[in-house]
Amino acid sequence: MSEEKPQLKLHHLAPAPGSKKAKTRVGRGEGGKRGKTAGRGTKGLKARNTLRPGFEGGQTPLSRRLPKLPGFNNPNKETFTVVNVGVLAEAFKAGSDVTPDVLREHGLVKHRGRIKILAEGEIGHALTVKTHAVSAAARSKIEAAGGSVELV
């Protein structure tokens, strides 16, 4: 004969003894445990309902430890609009005078301010270039083509 095993049913299931603990209901009258101030002491920021966002318990908060803006702007920074030698060769014919005003008229320089000539590209004819700054390589290319460079 075979022994019959007791059948397991849903009403037999229960959590292990001691694994479930009743939740403490705080602030439910002076008679009960954790009544009145509900374990928060008396008054003060932490006794109230909420802390403000970003509060770090009196430590200087992250929002005040970090700088307001990234980096800084140097008020004495010199900015140049760059024009390459190859662009000058395409825009002007031989013997032309190239000045900052002429560059603006041709639309090669959009903004006011200082202009610097750089050496990218090739130049095959002589130009007289008057500019605020020029790289050494650009100066040698213009002079090799028979032109001249003058600083304004």
Domain spans in the chain, listed from the N-terminal domain onward: 80-151
Which residue is associated with the tokens 């024009």?
83
pLDDT surpassing 90 at residue 47? no
pLDDT surpassing 70 at residue 128? yes
- Averaged confidence pLDDT in the chain: 91
3-31 pLDDT, tens digit per residue, is 788 888 999 999 999 999 999 899 999 98
- 13 in helix, strand or coil? coil
Lowest mean pLDDT among 44-48, 95-99, 112-116, 143-147: 44-48
pLDDT surpassing 70 at residue 91? yes
- 116 in helix, strand or coil? strand
pLDDT for 105: 93
Written as one string, the DSSP assignment of 48-102 is SS-PPTT--TTSPPHHHHS-SSSS---TT---EEEEEHHHHHHHS-TT-EE-HHH
pLDDT for 1: 58
The CATH code that applies to domain 80-151 is 3.100.10.10
